[in-house]
């Protein structure tokens, strides 16, 4: 990675405009290895660079890959219309570096949501051609039956779909909860499939994408974390 000036490094990390980052440095807000750095024209290798801004430690990341445990009543949009947007749950620096949701969860759906500022990653993860399995837990209005599970595994016909859609896997968790694994990613697919199978979805949560499990991160609703390369590898299609 080519060397950059310190002010540009901060700008790329979402600390403000170029001038705002220059002023932060001049104000003595930036330090490295415990030493304040006030020269914003200082050239350095950004990859893996560690520094602090106002006492908060940072590591330079060319792109960020995030996992958010999405709470209910939050919209997966940078321009929400009726509810707060997911960016309101993240530090402002992520908004400034144009972090976007990867795909969408309904405003009332909770669970695993990926976010990034890497356009190629977002496009690849959103492509229906990848067939990455996504796991959901649905709470049903009526008790789960063997017949309901069987219909979802066999396939149900949805409006405007040329062929029946079937769950890749499906199992009953308890009297009113069912786990469904899909790899198609159609609009409102879980809710629509449950209705087509004779059920109704009262609540829905995404618990896994590929082999990446939400439970392994111990995040409460509304909390987020960085995804490292070993996590991203778990998002590959299951062979």
Catalytic residue at 73?
no
Q: Give 183: exposed, middle or buried? Use CB within 10 Å, 0-12, 13-18, 19+.
A: middle
13, 63 contact by CB (below 8 A): no
3-state SS, one letter per residue, for 158-199: CCCCCCCECCCEEEEEECCEEEEEECCCCCCHHHHHHHHCCC
How is residue 8 written in tokens? 């540009």
Q: Report which of 107, 74, 106 is spatially closest to residue 90, judged by C-alpha positions.
A: 74
Which residues on neighbouring strands pair with residue 35, listed in sequence order? 32
**Residue 150: its H or E element:** helix 146-154
> Active-site residue among 106, 108, 118, 202?
106
Strand, coil or helix: 50: strand
- Give the separation between CA 183 and CA 237, rounded to whole angstroms: 10
Active site positions, annotated: 106
């Amino acid at each position: 990675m080519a060397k950059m000036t310190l002010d540009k490094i901060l700008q790329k990390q979402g600390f403000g405009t170029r001038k705002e980052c220059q002023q932060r440095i001049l104000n003595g807000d930036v330090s490295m290895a415990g030493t304040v750095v006030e020269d914003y024209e200082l050239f350095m290798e950004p990859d893996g660079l560690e520094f602090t801004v106002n006492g908060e430690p940072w590591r330079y990341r060319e792109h960020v890959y995030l996992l958010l445990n999405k709470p209910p009543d939050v919209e997966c949009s940078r321009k929400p219309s009726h509810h707060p947007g997911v960016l309101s749950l993240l530090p402002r620096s992520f908004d400034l570096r144009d972090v976007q949701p990867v795909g969408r969860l309904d405003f009332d759906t909770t669970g695993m949501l990926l976010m990034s500022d890497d356009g190629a990653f977002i496009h690849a993860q959103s492509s229906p051609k990848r067939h990455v399995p996504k796991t959901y837990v649905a709470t049903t209005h009526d008790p789960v039956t063997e017949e309901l599970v069987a219909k979802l595994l066999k396939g149900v016909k949805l409006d405007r779909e040329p062929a029946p859609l079937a769950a890749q896997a499906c199992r009953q968790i308890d009297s009113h909860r069912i786990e469904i694994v899909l790899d198609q990613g159609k609009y409102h697919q879980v809710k629509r499939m449950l209705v087509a199978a004779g059920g109704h979805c009262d609540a829905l949560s995404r618990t896994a994408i590929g082999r990446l499990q939400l439970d392994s991160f111990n995040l409460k609703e509304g909390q987020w974390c960085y995804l490292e390369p070993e996590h991203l590898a778990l998002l590959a299609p299951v062979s």
